[in-house]
Amino acid sequence: MTINATNEADYAIGLFGIVAGGQIKDLTLTNVTINVPTSEMAGGIVGMLCEGGTVGNCTIGTADSDSSQVAAARGNGGIVGRMTKSGTISNCTNYASISGTGANIGGIVGAAYYTAEDGEMSIIGCHNYGTVTGTAGAVGGIAGLSSAKVSNCTNAAPIQGNGADVAGIVAEQQNYGSVIGCMNTADITNNNADAYGTGGIVGWVRYNGAAASYPKKAVIEIMNNINSGSIDGGNDGGGIVGTVYNSAVVSGNENWAESISSSTFAGGIIGNLQFTEIPVGDNIPERQVHAVNNISTTTLDQIEAPSKSLYAYDNLSGSDENVVVSNNGTSWLAESDDVKYASLQLALNSAQNGDTVQILPGTHSEAITMPLTNITVQGPEDHTAILTGGISFAGGSASGLNMTIEDLVFDGKGISLTAWTQTTDLDQVGALVFRDNEFRNITGDNIYAIHINNGDSPISGLTITQNQFSGAQDSTKNGGVYATVCGTATITNNIFANMGFNGITLSGSNGIKTVVISDNKFDQWATHGTGERDGRAMRLSNLSDATTLDITKNSFICDTMQEEIIKVTELGAEQDIDLSYCYWNGLNPDEIIGEGQGKILLVRDDTTEEGTNENTQLGPYYTAPTMRPEDLNTYVPSSSGGGGGSSSYSVSVDKNIENGSVTVSPKSASSGRTVTITVKADEGYELDELTVTDKNGDEIELTDKGDGKYTFKMPRSKVTIEASFVEIDHQDTCPAAGFR
């Protein structure tokens, strides 16, 4: 197709001149030449699109040796010249070179502008592979001028302009609309050093106050876009947006540009933030600019401008409270509900009840505070997320919460909770769960890896399981767990190694009911300093008469002890403690080895802490009826976790499954972990039944995640997965009887 003449500038030029309310789809044009130097409305498919018209799945040119081009004065694009008030351009591709001597030049549409109260303009899933060049401004890879909602579009061709607004996706986003989920991979050049707005995604976000032509107004959103092209030239350059005037939300974007340069202002995300005077009556939203939660890898050395910033150069110098530039970074640190975050704290603060915040791999120095929300904070299963800033808990009333922290590595600083006012029922379980974490070298005097000292509001429903605590063998007087608890406390399957002080320090209250400390391994404690060293494997106190205390199947290994292995004080006179099936590393715990060494010290209400061996009750450590005193020194923890660490159980898939396949990840897991099942039926078959059963034959609840994926929580036993597939019944789709 060749068009090389037009009568007037405002004649609509294209395969279709004007499409008002109609639908154009599924067209491919090759070897297109449109050269109309005086036209201000030219497109390869449609010159003017309006009144809700649509253009879908259309292509101009080809990827291989096609010389298609669309050249005009202004208002020209590869697919559509202009779109006004309402309409949609979707799934279109341009390979033609686009050029203009004036403004509003775009790879897909020259201008999508003016708005209507009862309509929207949309540009969805379009792609540009043709160079776009303008000798003036408003030159964009997808659109030159836009008030449309632009989403999921890409540009892969160099963009070059010589005036205000040059960008990879939209040169100028005006008054209304959004640019969301788009990508630019090409270099952007503005040859005019005095021109505003050169950006990887959007050149200029601004409002012109033309109320009659733009009855709609809204804060423009520039979100979840990616730019990897370099930015060169203009007055202000940004990896995502060149210039923002007055109102915009810029969030969730990624900039990977190797370089950004401009004559005056530059930033990794936004080159220049400015407010203009708003004349009375102009149709402009309230001033607010939020550049929050973006990432940029372009370093300050790679940004060249007299005034520059790693993320956003605030030309207002922070003088206006409506400008917020915060929580930006160089990489994504966390993810929740498919939203990525450059700040761990922002991820936690944004989480809703029931959400899981996933900490991404890497070493994170940010000190974070857990909000009072029912959330799970989770690292990768391979423990590649390392926190060096620690976690504390927000103060306030915590009623009915269930919070989990799992699969994280804490290095240097651990978990601290000191400010809750807990109003939960004492029977609540799972209020706080710390599972499968590593705590390394928690430093400071009397510092515990998990420190829950909540004063008059002890914690109900505390679970600490499958964690590893390791301290430095130096002067650090660190410990594993310190907690004030009521209700239920469960500390199982943990390893406490090289503790500077106590492995566990637990204090109860009048409401405490059950304490279970079992299947843990204590390997060296009281390691701090030289000379006399104080510290025990466990120090328990203030346990009411109603408390059931289970301290079974633990392993105690310590080369040198100057205090008790276990010290329990303020016990009820008749209170029973189960210390059976523990491994003492060859030491008879009721043998006094010097003052206070190597024994279990149980102080009843009617004795003093300094009581003699006669009034220190030792019997309970072999209370299990099948246990004899001499057995205590022969019990060795099993490799499956009896002495601490994580117990892993196998996930087996029935080998006799026919007409489909079932795979699992992981193939073994510890209790409470999520296992994913992937089901794939053979051609002509579909899944009929899928079951997961534990070692007792009890069925485990499955969650259907869609796309053939199911998940379940691993029980404390091995599981077996069985599935059956049936042939798809085509009866409902077959032709009626009599078909020949």
Dump pLDDT digits (tens) for 212-239.
Answer: 778 888 889 999 999 999 999 999 999 9
Residue 339 confidence (pLDDT) above 60: yes
d(CA 172, CA 161): 13
Instruction: Say which range, 29-43, 73-87, 380-394, 521-535, has the weakest mean pLDDT.
Output: 521-535
Contact 691, 653 (CB under 8 A): no
Instruction: Please name the residues in contact with 730: beta carbons below 8 A apart, sequence gap of 6 or more.
Output: none
More confident of the two residues 88 and 621: 88
Phi-psi region of 587 (alpha: psi -120 to 50; beta: other; left: phi over 0): beta
Question: What's the whole-number average pLDDT of the chain?
Answer: 83
Q: pLDDT-derived band of residue 397, with 50, 70 and 90 as boundaries?
A: confident
Residue 97 confidence (pLDDT) above 70: yes
**Section 525-543 average pLDDT:** 77
Q: Phi and psi for 300 in degrees, rounded to 5? A: -60, -35
d(CA 169, CA 191): 18
Report which of 87, 83, 85, 65 is spatially closest to residue 75, judged by C-alpha positions.
83
Q: pLDDT-derived band of residue 248, with 50, 70 and 90 as boundaries?
A: very high
pLDDT at 396: 74
Token pair recorded at residue 662:
């079932």
Instruction: Give the burial class of 190: count Cβ atoms within 10 A of its Cβ; 0-12 exposed, 13-18 middle, 19 or more buried.
Output: buried
Q: pLDDT over 90 for what percent of the chain? A: 51
Long-range contacts of 646-650 (CB under 8 A, 24+ apart): 646/436, 646/466, 646/493, 646/670, 647/466, 647/493, 647/519, 647/671, 647/716, 649/714, 649/715, 649/716, 649/717, 649/718, 649/719, 650/718, 650/719
d(CA 372, CA 398): 6
d(CA 521, CA 550): 15
Q: What residue has token string 């989480």?
A: 351
Q: Phi and psi for 615 in degrees, rounded to 5? A: -100, 10
User: What is the tens place of the pLDDT at every residue in 45-58?
Assistant: 999 999 999 999 99
More confident of the two residues 578 and 105: 105
Cis ω on the peptide bond leading into residue 666 (within 30° of 0)?
Answer: yes
Instruction: Say which range, 98-107, 599-608, 683-692, has the weakest mean pLDDT.
Output: 599-608
Residue 330 CA: distances (Å) to CA of 147, 255, 256, 299, 380:
30, 9, 10, 9, 20
pLDDT at 207: 81
Residue 430 confidence (pLDDT) above 70: no
d(CA 726, CA 721): 17
Q: What is the CA radius of gyration of the chain?
A: 34
Instruction: Say which range, 35-39, 425-429, 448-452, 687-691, has the weakest mean pLDDT.
Output: 425-429
**Section 700-727 average pLDDT:** 90
What is this structure's pTM? 0.76
DSSP 30-75: -S-EEEETT-SSEESSEEEEETTEEEES-EES-SSS---EEEESSS
pLDDT at 488: 82
Q: pLDDT-derived band of residue 101, with 50, 70 and 90 as boundaries?
A: very high
Q: pLDDT-derived band of residue 613, with 50, 70 and 90 as boundaries?
A: very low
In this structure, which amino acid lies at residue 108? Answer: I
- CA neighbours within 13 Å on the CB side: how many for 700? 29
Q: pLDDT-derived band of residue 94, with 50, 70 and 90 as boundaries?
A: very high
Instruction: Say which range, 121-125, 274-278, 697-701, has the weakest mean pLDDT.
Output: 274-278
Instruction: Give the burial class of 156: count Cβ atoms within 10 A of its Cβ; 0-12 exposed, 13-18 middle, 19 or more buried.
Output: middle
Instruction: Say which range, 24-38, 145-159, 480-494, has the weakest mean pLDDT.
Output: 480-494
**Section 59-69 average pLDDT:** 89
Residue 617 confidence (pLDDT) above 50: no
Strands 166-167 and 495-497, bridge-based pairing: unpaired
Q: pLDDT over 70 for what percent of the chain? A: 81
Residue 473 confidence (pLDDT) above 60: no
Contact 246, 287 (CB under 8 A): yes
Instruction: Please name the residues in contact with 740: beta carbons below 8 A apart, sequence gap of 6 or more.
Output: none
Q: Phi and psi for 348 in degrees, rounded to 5? A: -70, -45
Handedness of CA 727, 733, 737, 740 (dihedral sign): negative
Residue 475 confidence (pLDDT) above 80: no
pLDDT at 275: 72
Residue 298 CA: distances (Å) to CA of 158, 294, 519:
19, 12, 50
d(CA 325, CA 193): 26
In this structure, which amino acid lies at residue 467? Answer: N
In this structure, which amino acid lies at residue 526? Answer: A
DSSP 486-505: EEEEEEES-EEES-SS-SEE
Bridge partner residues of 515 (DSSP): 489, 549
Handedness of CA 38, 85, 243, 336 (dihedral sign): negative
Q: pLDDT-derived band of residue 345, with 50, 70 and 90 as boundaries?
A: very high
Residue 523 confidence (pLDDT) above 70: yes
Instruction: Say which range, 302-306, 370-374, 505-509, has the weakest mean pLDDT.
Output: 505-509
Token pair recorded at residue 130:
């043709």
More confident of the two residues 357 and 208: 357
**Section 16-20 average pLDDT:** 94
Q: Residue 456, Cβ neighbours under 10 Å: how many?
A: 8
In this structure, which amino acid lies at residue 647? Answer: S
**Section 539-547 average pLDDT:** 77
d(CA 336, CA 106): 35
User: What is the tens place of the pLDDT at every residue in 299-332?
Assistant: 999 999 999 999 998 776 555 667 889 999 999 9
Q: Residue 475, Cβ neighbours under 10 Å: how many?
A: 12
Contact 510, 426 (CB under 8 A): no
Residue 628 confidence (pLDDT) above 70: no
Token pair recorded at residue 258:
């190797």
